[in-house]
Amino acid sequence: MKKSILFIAFAAIICGCSHNKQTTEHKLITPLPAGIAVDDLKDCTIPAAFTPANFNWMGGNLTMTVYNQDLYDAIEISQMQVGDTIFYDSKKLVINKIAEEHGGIDINGGLDEGGCCLAGNEGGTYVARNWDDHATYTELGKTEVALADDFVIIDCGIDPKDPIDTIRTGQKLYIENLKDSKKDFFQLNTRVTIENGMITEINRHWIP
């Protein structure tokens, strides 16, 4: 009888320890996969970064750094809890506080307190937000992609009210004569459209 009681007590302790262990396990929340292979870009529109020096006009190609906008699964975010870790802006952030603010979610007090902000997005996702409401991005790597003979450049002005330039001919001359303040194309403002493995459009929009 005593042995039976001791066995039951021991089993209860083991079960209790196992239960406590389960409740203290936490998740690592990461952005959704990009869904593209940097070395095999066929038909897609991607955030990218490059400068005029990255154009190889003789070879007819452009070398660029490819990025993926950080999106998170809405269901995973809804299950997020204190103690979890979120991979945000290429860094791991342990979650100490979660608050719904202005239709989004502030983690660890939001950007003002060294935390982060997630905003509701289409397709059952959340998008990570940074200062000036910019999204965050993950670098996927560098690649070289051929330029279509008739590729188009759609470019913003220096000020938000400046007219948009659409360059269908003389692309080389346009790129080589950009002012110093406009020579950098980067993932926050540039989208490159690739069709059948060739760049058909470079679109840069104005940002703060």
The answer, yes or no, to whether residue 5 has pLDDT greater than 60, is no
Backbone angles phi, psi at 183, to 5 degrees: -80, -20
The answer, yes or no, to whether residue 7 has pLDDT greater than 50, is no
Full 3-state SS string of the chain: CHHHHHHHHHHHHHHHHHHHHHHCCCCEECCCCCCCCCCCCCCEEEEEEECHHHEECCCCEEEEEEEEECEEEHHHHHCCCCCCEEEECCEEEECCCEEEECCEEEECCCHHHCCEEEEEECCCEEEEECHHHCECEEEEEEEEEEEEEEEEEEECCCCCCCCCEEECCCHHHHHHCCCHHHCCECCCCEEEEEECCEEEEEEECCCC
Proportion of the chain above pLDDT 70, given as a percent: 88
127-179, pLDDT tens digit by residue? 999 999 999 999 999 999 999 999 999 999 888 889 999 999 999 999 999 99
Residue 178: C-alpha distances to residues 9, 89, 102, 158, 173 (Å): 78, 30, 39, 11, 9
Backbone angles phi, psi at 142, to 5 degrees: -100, 150
Q: What is the per-residue pLDDT for 16?
A: 53
**Contact by Cβ (8 Å): 131, 111:** yes
Q: What is the per-residue pLDDT for 25?
A: 87
| Residues sharing a CB contact under 8 Å with residue 172, sequence separation 6 or more, in sequence order | 55, 57
Q: What is the per-residue pLDDT for 102?
A: 79
Q: What is the per-residue pLDDT for 208?
A: 81
Q: What is the per-residue pLDDT for 193?
A: 98
**Contact by Cβ (8 Å): 76, 29:** yes
**pLDDT grade, residue 8 (50/70/90)?**
very low
The answer, yes or no, to whether residue 1 has pLDDT greater than 70, is no
75-114, pLDDT tens digit by residue? 999 999 999 999 999 999 999 999 998 789 999 999 999 9
